[in-house]
Amino acid sequence: DAKTTQPNSMESNEEEPVHLPCNHSTISGTDYIHWYRQLPSQGPEYVIHGLTSNVNNRMASLAIAEDRKSSTLILHRATLRDAAVYYCIPAYSGAGSYQLTFGKGTKLSVIP
Amino acid sequence: KAGVTQTPRYLIKTRGQQVTLSCSPISGHRSVSWYQQTPGQGLQFLFEYFSETQRNKGNFPGRFSGRQFSNSRSEMNVSTLELGDSALYLCASTLAPGAVNEQFFGPGTRLTVL
């Protein structure tokens, strides 16, 4: 499994953009980069994933470095509901079984 | 579309007992994975099922087992419970195996072993 490095914690002011970095320098060429978040007392929630190109959805944007050794999750306007632990997970895309290997993630605090 | 449901939501057992947890995936999803979350170890993969077959298993003792039924519903069983098995057990469903697909998690079952 590819190793990931994320900041332990980050803070953001409400309604400001947030850039959550992730280093995954050992990622293989076929691993997708997934981001999940976990709000307090809830199960993890899918945020976004991508392979090579930048991706956008209604929740966030994912910017993937050209060499794929790092990525950044972008929340365009942080709300109080975005306070959570964010996990960056390289996931193998082969035909074999598929598991998510969670690290410690980044705890995001949003300040009103 | 209904999300992933897990029953029961809370469970209290004593050491040595066994427990069965249930997971109903999102309609149409055929792959189910189980994870254990503890404060010390974080989220750890237990096993994955697809088409009633266990495709992958994490590094857990044989006391942890599971199965999947033809309707894709899944159960996991822990026998001879230990204090260290106290955790949040999470089930996730996905359309089919493969990292191109996202996983959808249920709310979890909180197991307390006394």
For residue range A77-110, list pLDDT tens digits in order.
Answer: 999 999 999 999 988 766 566 778 899 999 999 9
User: Number of A:B CB contacts under 8 A?
Assistant: 70
Give the pLDDT confidence of A40-69 residue by residue, as tens digits: 889 999 999 999 889 999 999 999 999 999
Q: A35: alpha, beta or left, given left = phi > 0 and alpha = psi -120 to 50?
A: beta
Count CB neighbours of A16 within 10 A. 12
Rounded alpha-carbon distances, angstroms, from residue A76 to A79, A87, B27: 10, 18, 32
> At B93, is the pLDDT very low, low, confident or very high (cuts 50, 70, 90)?
very high
Q: Please state the φ and ψ torsions of residue A81, each to the nearest 5 degrees.
A: -70, -15
Which chain A residue is nearest to residue B49, measuring alpha carbons? A97
HSE, side-chain direction, 13 A CA sphere, residue B97: 19
Task: Pick the residue of A8, A49, A99, A104 with the most B CBs within 10 A to test the interface with B by mutation.
Answer: A99
- Please judge whether B99 and A44 are an interchain contact, meaning their C-beta atoms are less than 8 angstroms apart: no
Question: Which residue in A41, A98, A102 has the most chain B C-beta atoms within 10 A of its own C-beta, making it the best mutation to test that interface?
Answer: A98
pLDDT average, residue stretch B30-40: 94
* Whole-angstrom distance, CA of residue A28 vs CA of residue A91: 9
Mean pLDDT across chain B:
94
How far apart (Å, rounded) are the C-alpha atoms in residues A102 and A89?
6
